[in-house]
Copies of this chain bind each other. A is one copy, B any other.
Amino acid sequence: MTLEPVAAHAPLELEHFLPYRLSILSNTVSQSIATEYQDRFELSMTEWRVMTILARFPEISAREVVDRSAMDKVAVSRAVARLVDAGRVDRGIHDGDKRRSVLKLSEAGWAIHDEVAPLARAHERELLARLDEGEQAQLNSILDKLLAL
């Protein structure tokens, strides 16, 4: 008594399923930017994220990087370790709380940042170029709503 057995199961249509579409888009975009700096600077995506945070908020602790980045603390710890190792980040100790680190980009770190940041912005512009002004504004406002915890 089962005509159209597949339809009876109501499979998801991935190509119209929002979470799936978001994931494809996000991966494509992030990856296309990442491949540019990964080879050139031997820089992982996590490391680059940490660097952008430190560029905007110098002299913060690893904990604050975690808070500001929505990354997990182990990932940050490892990224910072490698960045310090590579001489791209300077790590100090907080006065009055010896647990806390105080992180900032080194000269070398800034040099890389200043090369990669425009490149990332260019990718964003290229992506947004497919939308007109109105759509760009709509997208922003929609993302605001979806990201509001």
**Which A residues lie at the B interface, using CB under 8 A?**
6, 9-14, 17-27, 29-30, 33, 49, 52-53, 55-56, 58, 68-70, 110, 113-114, 117, 120-121, 123-124, 127-128, 130-131, 135, 138-139, 141-143, 145-148
Contact = CB atoms under 8 A, between A and B. Distances in A.
Given A29-B22, A128-B18, A11 B142 contact: no
Contacts of A22: 22, 25-26, 29-30, 143
Give the copy number.
Answer: 2
B26 A25 contact: yes
Given A23-B30, A33-B19, A9 B110 contact: yes
A57 to B, nearest CB: 9
Contacts of A110: 9
27 contacts: A6-B56, A9-B55, A11-B113, A11-B117, A12-B121, A14-B52, A14-B56, A18-B128, A18-B143, A19-B26, A20-B49, A21-B143, A22-B22, A22-B26, A22-B30, A22-B143, A23-B30, A24-B147, A25-B26, A25-B147, A26-B27, A27-B70, A130-B145, A135-B138, A135-B142, A138-B139, A142-B142
